[in-house]
Amino acid sequence: MTATADLTSAADPGADHWPRPDGSPVDCREKVRVLRENHGELAQTLRDCFDDAVLMGVDPEAMRDLLHRMVSALRDPRSGGLDLK
């Protein structure tokens, strides 16, 4: 199995479980379809970005740290959106 398949596989719990703030699942089929598509597209983009960086000489752990910081900087769009510093 490739690394890309690892990120986008149906075995990934993120691809099938979309909790609302109260913990109940998003269950609208259209919303779940869009969320799954977004998940797959993001997984591929992350894989491509990571691979490019490593192949250009960036330390893999440093790249993972940068990606983690980007995700950690995401803010709720209902309260101001992305805040990358």
Contact 12, 20 (CB under 8 A): no
* Tokens of residue 64, six digits: 């993972």
Banded model confidence at residue 79, pLDDT cuts 50, 70, 90:
confident
26 Cβ neighbours under 8 A, 6+ residues apart:
18, 19, 20, 32, 35
What DSSP line would sit under 33-62, residue for residue? HHHHHHHHHHHHHHHHHHHHHHHTT--HHH
pTM over 0.85: no
pLDDT for 1: 37
Segment 2-40, tens digit of pLDDT: 444 455 444 465 577 899 999 999 999 999 999 999 999
Tokens 């995401």 belong to 74
